[in-house]
Chains A and B, each alone.
Chain A
Amino acid sequence: MIQALLFIASAAGIGTAPGASAVAFVLPSEERVRVLATIPDLAGFVREIGGERVDVDSISRGKEDLHSVTARPSSLVAMSRADMFVEVGLSLEIAFVPGLLHSCRNARVQPGSPGFVSVAQGWTVSKAPAVLSRQAGDVHPQGNPHINLDPRAGLHMATQVYEGLVRVDPGSKALYDARFEGLVLRLKQAQTRWSAMAEDWKGRKVATYHSEYDYLIEAYGLESVGTLESKPGIPPTPKHLSELVANMKSGGCDAILSAQWSNNDTLARVSEAAGVQAVVLPNQCAGMKGADDWVGMMDLIHDRLEQAFAKSAATK
Chain B
Amino acid sequence: MPSVPSQAKQAGPDSGQADRFSNAFNPAFSFIVDAALDYVDLDSGSDEDGFDLSLRILEVASQAWVDPSAWAYFVGAAEEEGLNIEEAAVHYVGLGSQTTLRAGRFFIDFGKQMQTHVHELRTLERPLALRAYLGDEVKGDGVQYDQWAAVGDKSALRWSLGVFANLLPEEAAYPVADVALEIDERKDLGDLNFTGRVTAFRDVSENGTLQLGASARIIPEYTVLDEVNDLSEAELGNEVFGVDLTYGWIDDTGQRRWTLGVEALANSGDIELSVLDPDGTPANGDESLNVKDETVFGFYGFLDYAWSKYRSAGVQYSRATLSDAAETELSEIELYTTRWLSEYHRLRLVGVWSNDDTADEDSYRVALQYTAIIGSHGHGINW
Q: Is A234 an interface residue (CB 8 A)?
A: yes
- Cβ-defined partner of B153 (8 Å) among A10, A21, A69, A77: A77
Bound-complex Cα distance A206 to B68 (A):
48
B359 within 8 Å of A (CB atoms): no
Contact A14 B378 (CB under 8 A): yes
Q: Which chain A residues border B112 with CB–CB below 8 Å?
A: 7
Contact, CB under 8 Å: B248 / A8: no
> Contact at A96–B4, with CB atoms within 8 Å?
no
Contact residues in B for A167 (Cβ distance below 8 Å): 4
Q: Which residues B72-107 have CB closer than 8 A to chain A?
A: 73-75, 86-87, 91, 93, 97-98, 106-107
A195 on interface, CB distance cutoff 8 Å: no
Contact B116 A7 (CB under 8 A): yes
Residue of A nearest to B151 (CB): A77
Q: Is B61 an interface residue when CB atoms closer than 8 A count as contact?
A: yes
Known: A10-B115, A77-B156, A235-B310. A96 touches B343 (CB 8 A): no
Of the 9-residue stretches A60-68, A197-205, A300-308, which lies at the interface with chain B? Answer: A60-68
Evaluate contact between B203 and A73: CB separation under 8 angstroms.
yes
Quick check: B379 and A4 within 8 Å, CB to CB? Answer: yes
A105 to B381, CA, bound (A): 13
Q: Are A73 and B156 touching (Cβ within 8 A)?
A: yes
Q: Is the CB of A74 within 8 A of B154?
A: yes
B230 interface residue (CB < 8 Å to A): no
A187 interface hit (Cβ, 8 Å): no
- Closest A residue by C-beta to B1: A177
CA distance A67 to B304 in the complex (A): 21
B253 is an interface residue with CB less than 8 A from chain A = yes
B309 touches A9 (CB 8 A): no
B28 within 8 A of A: yes
Given the contacts A10-B106, A103-B381, A65 and B253 also touching, CB distance less than 8 Å? yes
- CB of B297 closer than 8 Å to a CB of A: no
Structural contact, A122 and B5, CB atoms closer than 8 A: yes
Binds A, one of B254-262, B268-276, B279-287: B254-262
A299 CB within 8 Å of chain B: no
- The stretch of A38-46, A158-166, A218-226, A289-297 in contact with B is A158-166
Partner of B155, one of A7, A15, A73: A73
Q: Which residues of B contact A70 (CB under 8 A)?
A: 248, 250, 254
Contacts of B253 in A (CB 8 A): 63-65, 260-261
Given A3-B309, A11-B86, A159-B2 contact (CB < 8 Å): yes
Among A15, A68, A78, A105, contact of B309 (Cβ-Cβ < 8 Å): A68
Contact with B along A63-89 (1 / 0, CB 8 A): 111011111111011101100000000
Check: A102 CB closer than 8 A to any chain B CB: yes
A96: B residues at CB distance < 8 A: 379
The reply on A185 being an interface residue by CB < 8 A is no
Closest A residue to B379 using CB positions: A99
B147's closest neighbor in chain A, by CB? A105
For window 218-256 of chain B, which residues contact chain A by CB distance below 8 Å?
246, 248, 250, 252-255
When the two chains form the complex, which single residue of A12, A100, A166, A264 contacts B74, counting CB atoms closer than 8 Å?
A: A12
B252 and A73 within 8 A (CB)? no
Task: Give B322 Cβ to nearest chain A Cβ, in Å.
Answer: 28
Bitwise interface map of A from 139 to 152 toward B, beta carbon under 8 Å scored 1, else 0: 10000000000000
Among A8, A69, A139, max chain B CB count under 10 A is at A8
Q: Report the bound CA distance from A95 to B344 in whole Å.
A: 13
Known A-B contacts A9-B381, A105-B97; the reply to A15 vs B257 at CB < 8 A is no
State how many angstroms separate the Cβ of B116 from the closest Cβ of chain A: 6
Does A15 contact B71, Cβ atoms closer than 8 Å?
yes
B259: chain A residues within 8 A (beta carbon):
3, 5
Chain A residues with Cβ below 8 Å from B61 are 11-13
- Shortest distance in angstroms between B13's beta carbon and chain A's nearest beta carbon? 20
Contact indicator B153/A162 (Cβ below 8 Å): no
- Chain B residues contacting A12 (CB-CB under 8 Å) are 30, 61-63, 73-75, 87
Contact of A11 among B1, B87, B152, B201 (CB under 8 A): B87
Task: Provide the A4-44 mask, 1 if CB < 8 A to any CB of B, else 0.
Answer: 11111111111101101110000000000000000000000
Tell me if A272 counts as interface (CB < 8 A to partner B).
Answer: no
Q: Which of A65, A94, A102, A181 contacts B255 (CB 8 A)?
A: A65
- The answer to whether A3 and B65 have CB atoms under 8 Å apart is no
What B residues does A260 contact at CB under 8 A?
Answer: 252-253
Q: How far is the CA of A12 from the CA of B31 in the complex (A)?
A: 10
Taking CB atoms, residues of chain A closer than 8 Å to B106 are: 10-11
Name B's A-contacting residues (CB within 8 A): 1-2, 4-5, 7, 28, 30, 61-65, 68, 71, 73-75, 86-87, 91, 93, 97-98, 106-107, 112, 115-117, 120, 122, 148, 150, 152-156, 201-203, 206, 209, 211, 246, 248, 250, 252-255, 257, 259, 304, 306, 308-310, 312, 338, 340-344, 376-383
